[in-house]
Amino acid sequence: MKVTLEDIKQKPMPKHIAVIMDGNGRWAKSRGLLRTAGHRMGVQALKNLVLALDELDIHYVTVYAFSTENWKRPADEVNTLMELIVEFLDKELDYMHEKGVRIHPIGDISRLTGKTYDKIVAAQEKTKDNTNIILNVALNYGGRQEIVRAAKNICADVQSGRLAMDDIDEALFGSYLYTAGQPDPDLLIRPSGELRVSNFLLWQIAYTEFWCTNILWPDFGKEHLWQAIWEYQNRDRRYGGLTK
C-alpha cells in the first residue's frame, strides 16, 4: 500500500521517533564510491528527515550518529565523520535555527576532536531556546554507558545526602538520562536490513515500536517515514495489558 501524507494525518502521530542511521557504507560500495560519499549522503538524508518531521508536527527525534563502538573503525573514516559534523553545522545550523530546531547532543562528547566539539557546543548554545523540534544527536553514545553514567550520578547524590534510597524509582532514574524531560520514543526506525538495537537507547525503548526496512539510510525519504508512521499507527500498543 502506498501511504500518503493525508493517510497518516488521520490518526495521532508519534511524539518521539528514534532513528538508527545505518547503511551509508553499503550505499557507497554498491555504487563503486568511497564510504565517505555514503556518509555525506546520509547527512543529507538527516536534513530531509528533520524537514519531514516539521511538516508532521513531531517534536522529538533522536538519531544515532556515532556510537562508542564506532571508534573501532579506520581512523580516516572516523576523521571524515567528524569533519561531516562540522560541515553539516556550518551549512545548516542557521537554517535549522530558523526552523526552531534545538540541537541536543547526547553521549560523552568530551572525546570528540576539538573543532567538532566546539561546533557542537556552539550549536547547542545557539539553539537552546528552540522548541519546534528537539533533535537529539547521539555522538560517542552507548546505551549501556548512559545507564552506568546515570547509576553513578544517582549513587553520588545518595552519598552526598541529596537523595535517599527510597527516592529511587523508574521516573527518577529516567531523570538522570540524557533524554531527561522527554517522552520515550514511540517508534524506532532501523534501515539497512539489520534487526538489532545496537546499544541504542536501551532504557528508553522498553515499549517502543520497531520498524525495520532494507532501505539504506541515504535512500531514506519522507515516503519511507510516512510508511513507518502508518504501520505504527495501525499497531495495537498494549504495554503488557490487554486490548480494550
Residue pair 137/105 in contact (Cβ under 8 Å)? The answer is: yes
Instruction: Using the structure block, give the residue that is written with the C-alpha cell 564510491.
Output: 33
Active-site residue identified among 22, 130, 136, 186: 22
- The one catalytic residue among 48, 70, 132, 199: 70
Q: Order of strands, edge to edge, in the sheet holding 209-212? A: 101-106, 133-141, 60-67, 16-20, 187-190, 209-212
Catalytic-residue membership of 22? yes
Does the active-site annotation cover 169?
A: no
Alpha helix positions (H), 23-168: 24-30, 35-56, 75-98, 114-126, 143-160
DSSP conformation letters of 150-173: HHHHHHHHHHHTSS-GGG-SHHHH
Phi, psi angles (nearest 5°) of residue 75: -60, -35
- Catalytic positions, written as ranges: 22, 70
